Chains A and B, each alone.
Chain A
Amino acid sequence: MLSPDEAAQLIEAIAARQDRAAFASLFRHYAPRVKAFLMRGGTDAETAQEVAQEALIIVWRKAASFDRSRASAATWIYTIARNKRIDLARRAARPAIETEDWLAVFAPEEADADKSVLAGQTYTRVKELLGGLSADQLVVIKKAFFEDKTHTVIAEELKLPLGTVKSRIRLALGRLREALEKEQS
């Protein structure tokens, strides 16, 4: 296992001195997890493997852009893998599009932007918080992240009125926010 601090140090070691051993540790930890995560959303094993590998290559190239005060290693790697998956999907179906916009969110460039207070949060804690959501709420959140679907598509697939899906999302986010912010204060 890697702690959030250890994972951040590995990315920083790549940025500071092109540390191949650090890359190997990150790859061993994250490549299989990213692959498993993508397969949960219905991506086939071969594509999931390719996306995971290419995502870790981007981690190497962009290591200097990583800022642990803004996002954890896992969140950053998730964002990269998600964009890589979008790129691959578009290559197949639609013209290519810039996806770095989405990446930029986790590294806003404004000097005065407030630092993320979540970066150091342990995953165990966020996992516990997810466990506190109702099954109805959790299924919507998971479909969004695993299957890369908009709330409109999720509503159609679950055969639910759009308003029901919206209120589940708002309730889930409200709970997460309340719990995370109570902890920080």
Chain B
Amino acid sequence: MNHPAPEELLLDYAAGASAPGPGLAVALHVALDPAARRTVEQLGAVAGALIEAEAEATADEAALTDAALQRMLSRLDGLAVEPKPAPYTPRPGFQWAPAPLARHLDPQAQWHRAVGGFEEIRLRLPGDSHRVSLLRLEPGRGLPRHRHVGNEYTVVLQGGYTDATGNYGVGDFAVGPGAEQHEPIADPGDPCIALIVLEKPIVLTGPFGRWFNPLVRSGLI
């Protein structure tokens, strides 16, 4: 793994504080990168220790707990222990999709050709204003030159891409380069598929692309 997610984003994620879009980006990175998973597990151990460190209940609190326990036990009567869920299997055509992505992929999800020569699947995450998309780029193809006005999070799910900041392969995580423009190009081999989470619409800066900015801003493309 050449490009790990910044650790403060792993902490946001482990604490359950991430917004849904960035949270999904980190979840996919964690699913693909054992080192990130270890860090999140260490943070989980810290949270467990903080819970465990809470003092024994006082006598009053213990009486309250016992009363609540009696209500809970009566609720258990109608409540089965669920069987262990079957291991995740990606559906045909989406073998590259890690488990946390699957629930957000509509069963009818299809790639749509977007302006600029790439394909896109938009994801709708309720309660989040980020623009969340899967992008697919054929080898050697690039995204139109653009710059960012807000944060951008990218996780590579298949293939890879290269831009001025380096080469990104499966599981790699990129945080938007701020106001600098960049022009990612897909590597040879399988098409590059990545999840892109944008805080604000990008601004196209190429001689041709910039005419599309009003459409980009309005979310039409």
From A49, A127, A148, B15 is in contact (CB under 8 Å) with A148
Could you give, for residues 51-76 of chain B, a 1 whenever the CB lies within 8 Å of some chain A CB and a 0 otherwise? Answer: 11111110001101110110111011
Do A32 and B82 have beta carbons less than 8 Å apart?
A: no
When C-beta atoms are compared, the residue in chain A nearest to B57 turns out to be: A32
B: number of interface residues (CB 8 Å): 71
Q: Report the minimal beta-carbon distance from A133 to chain B, rounded to whole angstroms.
A: 10
Chain B residues positioned under 8 Å from A150 (CB to CB): 12, 17-19
Q: Report the minimal beta-carbon distance from A52 to chain B, rounded to whole angstroms.
A: 8
Interface: B37 (CB within 8 A) = yes
Chain B residues positioned under 8 Å from A97 (CB to CB): 20, 125-128
Do B99 and A109 have beta carbons less than 8 Å apart?
A: yes
Most buried by A among B18, B27, B65, B81: B81
Interface: B6 (CB within 8 A) = yes
Given contacts A32-B62, A101-B24, contact A166 B16 (CB under 8 A): no
Do A151 and B11 have beta carbons less than 8 Å apart?
A: yes
Q: Which of A98-143 contact B (CB under 8 A)?
A: 98-102, 104-106, 108-111, 113-114, 116-118, 121, 123, 126-127, 130, 141-142
**20 A-B Cβ contacts within 8 A?**
A18-B80, A18-B81, A31-B68, A32-B61, A49-B64, A78-B48, A79-B47, A97-B127, A100-B103, A101-B103, A104-B27, A105-B44, A110-B31, A114-B37, A118-B44, A126-B46, A130-B50, A173-B7, A173-B39, A177-B42
Q: Which residues of B contact A (CB under 8 A)?
A: 6-20, 23-24, 27, 30-31, 34, 37-57, 61-62, 64-66, 68-69, 71-73, 75-76, 79-85, 87-88, 99-100, 103-104, 125-128
